[in-house]
Amino acid sequence: MSKKSNILIYLLGIYVVLQFIWWGYQIINLGALVDSSNDQTSRRVFMILGEGGVFILILLAGFWQIQRAIKKEIELSQNQNNFLLSVTHELKTPLTSIQLALQTLSKRDLNKEQTQTLIEKAISENERLKILIDNIIQASSIENKGLIADKTSINIKSLLESIVEKSNKRQENNLVSLKCPNEYNILADIFMIETSIINIIENAIKYAGSNSIIVKVENIAHHLNISIIDQGPGIDDHEKNFIFDKFYRVGNEETRLKKGSGLGLYIAKQFIQLHNGEITYAKNTPCGSIFTISLPYE
């Protein structure tokens, strides 16, 4: 809703309130003229003021609710617009890289090593594209309440080793490391757990720069805690309550220039909740973030 529409609603509200006051004034004057008894006039005045006051309070409460709804709609519209802008860039970038790699392979006579490098680059960009498309599809499924966890036995250590290896290969570095000294098997939907962990790691990579990222696993009080620890800029206190909202992205200019759709953490939270678990955020010391997935574990 536009700013002009907002102003119009306020003006109409003020007009209605003033009308109530004017009508009350006229009725009180009319009652005073008709009824010469001071006691009856006084009772009539209190009755009119009381009923009028109730009407005004109801009216103000209604306008307050309307204003809240308008504010939410504006925020949702802005977030959706930001999502469309960022997702357009996110789709275009890997497609351009894949196209460039294929064109190079088709037009140039490359040696085996150069060919393998381009193929791996294309596969990496394709994987990045797949993650984005999967997130969009899963966000739609969550909205339609169409998700059911298909639980099977999962070896968490093996799963995390695979995720860390793929992340390092995709980023062409070894910034992500795993600390999981023991084997843990849980009953869970492997796609949902893998997607949740990948989304958090990708989010950490996005903001951590060249700093290391640690994936740490602990068994605490019948819960398996998987923590993704980075040394990036962290998240401001006034924003940490919104980071799991759909389409939400941290609002400063530096992070808005970072790639992302605003869906990763939202999907991770929904998937983990389907396993009766939770995902939490805490500040790292001296800087950075700690996202912890906590799953029931016997």
Q: Is residue 63 part of a domain?
A: yes
Query: Of 58, 87, 109, which closes a domain?
Result: 109
What is the number of other CB atoms lying within 10 angstroms of the CB of residue 2?
Answer: 8
Strand order in the sheet with 176-179: 176-179, 213-220, 223-229, 289-296, 278-283
Query: Of 46, 79, 109, which closes a domain?
Result: 109
pLDDT of residue 158: 95
Q: Is residue 78 part of a domain?
A: yes
> What is the 8-class DSSP label of residue 173?
S
Same domain, 8 and 67: yes
Per-residue pLDDT reduced to its tens digit, 49-105: 666 677 777 777 777 777 777 777 777 776 666 666 666 666 777 788 888 888 888
Per-residue pLDDT reduced to its tens digit, 114-151: 888 888 888 877 877 887 787 777 777 776 676 788 89
Q: Is residue 88 part of a domain?
A: yes
Q: Is residue 141 part of a domain?
A: no
The kind and range of the H/E element at 191 are helix 190-208
Same domain, 159 and 105: no
Q: Is residue 128 part of a domain?
A: no
> What is the pTM assigned to this prediction?
0.64
Q: Is residue 222 part of a domain?
A: yes
CA distance 230 to 208: 6
- Asked whether the predicted pLDDT for residue 298 surpasses 90, the reply is no
The kind and range of the H/E element at 217 are strand 213-220
Same domain, 105 and 156: no
Using the structure block, give the residue that is written with the tokens 């600390």: 179
Q: Is residue 120 part of a domain?
A: no
Same domain, 35 and 168: no
Structural domain harbouring 204: 152-296
Percent of the chain with pLDDT over 90: 23
State the CATH number of the domain containing residue 203.
3.30.565.10
CA distance 70 to 113: 58
Query: Of 56, 85, 109, which closes a domain?
Result: 109
Question: Considering its fold, how many domains does the chain have in total?
Answer: 2
Q: Is residue 131 part of a domain?
A: no
Same domain, 196 and 254: yes
CB 82 within 8 A of CB 61: no
CA distance 27 to 24: 5
pLDDT of residue 110: 81
Same domain, 40 and 160: no
- Asked whether the predicted pLDDT for residue 4 surpasses 70, the reply is no
Same domain, 171 and 90: no
